[in-house]
Amino acid sequence: MNFMSFSKEAGISVAEVKRLLFIFRNMFIITLIETYLSNKKLEIIKNPKLYFLDNGLRNIVLNNFLQQRADLGVLYESFVLQELLKQGFNANFWCTKGKSEVDFVLQINGQVIPSEVKMRDASITRSYRSSLEKYRPSIGFLFNLNERTKLKTESAHFEKRFLAEIIHFKDILESESA
């Protein structure tokens, strides 16, 4: 999210953009997630990411109701965030100067849990592998449409889960820790 870009595109001041975003956050229309930082020298402090809390409202604003569309991955990612928030999780995203990025990083009971959302290809990306190597989490997740499997990498237990399983994420975590 870039305040200046929003300002130029909407034809309003940056101050007005910030005021409107404040209102939209308090009306639970949008949410912003911040960068997860453990090493400020290697990781990037980026502007927060903006997500709509209602994909239907997002579709109305964009006037896009097509089933096949360029932003489908963004809709899936937004859906996952919405479900994480409903279940009481706080999410961040991770980004490094080396251009590695992970969609969501959860901190639960002192553990870092990286989670990715992929629409098509359910392979482990270089960015995701980088987060696994850096944080050595006890578990990580990749939510996707095609594959459900458990893997063990050099550094972590890793699960590919169907996208719809996010609605049971809290239960999944509890069963993994049992």
User: pTM for the whole thing?
Assistant: 0.86
Tell me which residue of 61, 56, 44, 60 sits closest to 10, measured CA to CA: 61
Contacts of 112 (CB under 8 A, 6+ apart): 36, 38, 105, 106, 135, 137
User: What is the spatial distance between Cα 31 and Cα 53, in angstroms, rounded to a whole number?
Assistant: 7
What's 56's DSSP letter?
A: H
Distance CA 142, CA 35 (A): 19
pLDDT in tens, 67-114: 888 888 899 999 999 999 999 999 999 887 777 889 999 998 888 899
The highest-level CATH class for domain 34-177 is alpha beta
Report the pLDDT value the prediction gives residue 76, as an integer from 0 to 100: 93
- Does residue 164 surpass a pLDDT of 70? yes
Please report, for the chain, the start and end positions of each structural domain, with discontinuous segments joined by +: 1-31, 34-177
